[in-house]
Amino acid sequence: MRAFVENRFGLLAVVTAVLAALYGIAWITRPAPAAPASAAPRKVPVEAVTAVCPGTKGERVGVYLPGALSHETMESGEPYVTNGPGALEAGYTSRVTRGAARGLAGVRCTEPAPATWLLGPGPADASVVLHLVNADKAPALVDVQVHAPEGPVSGDKGVGLEIAPGGSRAIDLRTLAPSADIVAVSVTTVFGRVAVSARAVLESGGVDWIPAAAAPATRVVVPGIPGGGGGRELVVAAPGETDATVRVRAVSEDAEYAMRGRESLDVPAGGVVAADVTTGLAASSAALVLTSDVPIVAGFVMTGTGEHQDVAFTAGTPSLELGSAVAANGAGSRLVLTAVGTAPGKVRVQVVPGKGAAGPALDVDVPANRTRSVRLTARGDFAVVVTPVAGEVYGGRVLEERRKDGLLLTAQPLAPARVWTLLPPLADTPLVVR
């Protein structure tokens, strides 16, 4: 044995045998390989919701929870904040028949978000007021940036705006960009949780709340454009540092096509442009599909007909993959649904009345690359719930009231319901300790 150990080749053989044994044990007892991380987001249920509406004294807020619709009156002009389980939806509609604020104005109670985009008329043509609400018991800080046709124009005036715990701020855009005729406004929450909404009163007549637009993307669908008379204007912004060439296609009740003279739009980096598409849509209910080589955001302005015009807005929005609900509806409501792509779409529509039991749900088929308008009927105020069944469907809710002095009009894109959310893919990485 001594001779064996002193022999260098014998010692090498012993070390090799030991290492082989250890490697074999490690191989047998190794943990199972981790499953590769999914590249697609996961659909997970929403457990709790905070919904915030700007305050309007005396207005009745519709509050929807699965299967039931209730109402709460805002006794003061303070913002309305409600907390509840997943699927909570809330909103209200104001109706004024005379004066400078004549019109229907519908607003969805929004949830606090890290970033919000709003597109529509600027202070040169309208009174536009941002409403920022801090729904938490901790301070919040936001940055507001206003983009005009020539690019960002608000400078540092909207940077570092503090909002006290449970407090709110109303910001007239004239203080940030007094001469812009069209704007794209971004509100970024630096810290805290802030809900954003904006009300516009046009100098030419009409009032409504501007809905939040989908985050910048290279493909944007603007749904919920009602048929009928009146003006139609598309507003597009390119928030990055690269000019955008935006291709525009309309999806109407009868066809999918490029509008003559509006086949594409050139949007300067950081700027915003508007295009009149009234004749291109030919009074048909429709959606617009925008594609670009760089991320864009989009909104839409609709004016009514008659001696006194009203105004309504819609915006780019995600598909109905997660479903949607609108809490505040009434007589004259309808859905404008669009199936984008080569496959037909189908959704299930459930009307939930404020009083009494809900009737049976209605399945609505939408042909591929077509738009369909569906009237909603119920007595009094009601909620509407839209559940996806098949295809890639987008939509909006339109509310109209015909009067002798002109059409009253409001619209709301069908935002994702708060029942589900998409959780981005996660992966283990040592970078988080940097």
> Where exactly are the structural domains of the chain?
46-421
Spatial distance between the Cα atoms of 286 and 414, rounded to a whole number of angstroms: 14
Q: Are 135 and 176 in contact (CB under 8 A)?
A: no
- pLDDT over 90 at 285, yes or no: yes
On average, the pLDDT of the chain sits at 91
**Mean pLDDT for the stretch of residues 253-273:** 96
Which residues, including other chains, have CB under 8 Å from residue 386's CB and lie 6 or more apart? 320, 323, 324, 325, 335, 347, 348, 349, 350, 395, 414
> Per this entry, what is the length of the chain?
434
**Mean pLDDT for the stretch of residues 300-329:** 96
**C-alpha dihedral, 357 to 360 to 366 to 371, nearest 10°:** -30
DSSP class per residue in 182-195 = EEEEEEEEEES-EE
**Mean pLDDT for the stretch of residues 145-158:** 96
162 token code pair: 């503090």
- pLDDT over 90 at 430, yes or no: no
- pLDDT over 60 at 68, yes or no: yes
The candidate with the shortest Cα–Cα distance to 149, out of 174, 175, 124, 116, is 124
The candidate with the shortest Cα–Cα distance to 84, out of 69, 59, 60, 63, is 63
Segment (H or E) for 15? helix 8-29
Q: How confident is the model at residue 33, as a pLDDT?
A: 57
- pLDDT over 70 at 11, yes or no: no
The candidate with the shortest Cα–Cα distance to 91, out of 51, 46, 138, 143, is 51
Collapsed DSSP state (helix, strand, coil) of residue 63? strand
DSSP class per residue in 80-104 = EEEEEETT-EEEEEEEE-SSTT-EE
**Mean pLDDT for the stretch of residues 302-315:** 96
Q: How confident is the model at residue 419, as a pLDDT?
A: 84
Q: Tell me the one-letter amino acid at 182.
A: I
Q: Are 212 and 117 in contact (CB under 8 A)?
A: yes
Q: Are 403 and 331 in contact (CB under 8 A)?
A: no
> DSSP character for 20?
H
The candidate with the shortest Cα–Cα distance to 289, out of 300, 304, 274, 302, is 300
pTM greater than 0.85: yes
C-alpha distances (whole Å) from 355 to each of 71, 184, 330 are: 11, 40, 13
32-41, 92-101, 128-137, 288-297: lowest mean pLDDT where? 32-41
Q: How confident is the model at residue 35, as a pLDDT?
A: 54
Which residues, including other chains, have CB under 8 Å from residue 381's CB and lie 6 or more apart? 60, 62, 69, 71, 328, 329, 330, 353, 354
Q: How confident is the model at residue 14, as a pLDDT?
A: 55
Q: How confident is the model at residue 44, as a pLDDT?
A: 85
**Mean pLDDT for the stretch of residues 105-115:** 96
- pLDDT over 80 at 136, yes or no: yes
Longest dimension (CA), the chain: 116
Segment (H or E) for 10? helix 8-29
CB atoms within 10 A of CB 157: 15
- pLDDT over 90 at 246, yes or no: yes
Which residues, including other chains, have CB under 8 Å from residue 423's CB and lie 6 or more apart? 41, 42, 43, 44
Q: How confident is the model at residue 32, as a pLDDT?
A: 53
C-alpha distances (whole Å) from 417 to each of 180, 255, 426 are: 34, 29, 23
Which residues, including other chains, have CB under 8 Å from residue 33's CB and lie 6 or more apart? none
> Which of the four pLDDT bands, split at 50, 70 and 90, describes residue 359?
confident
Vertex 36: Cα angle to 32 and 37 (nearest 5): 130
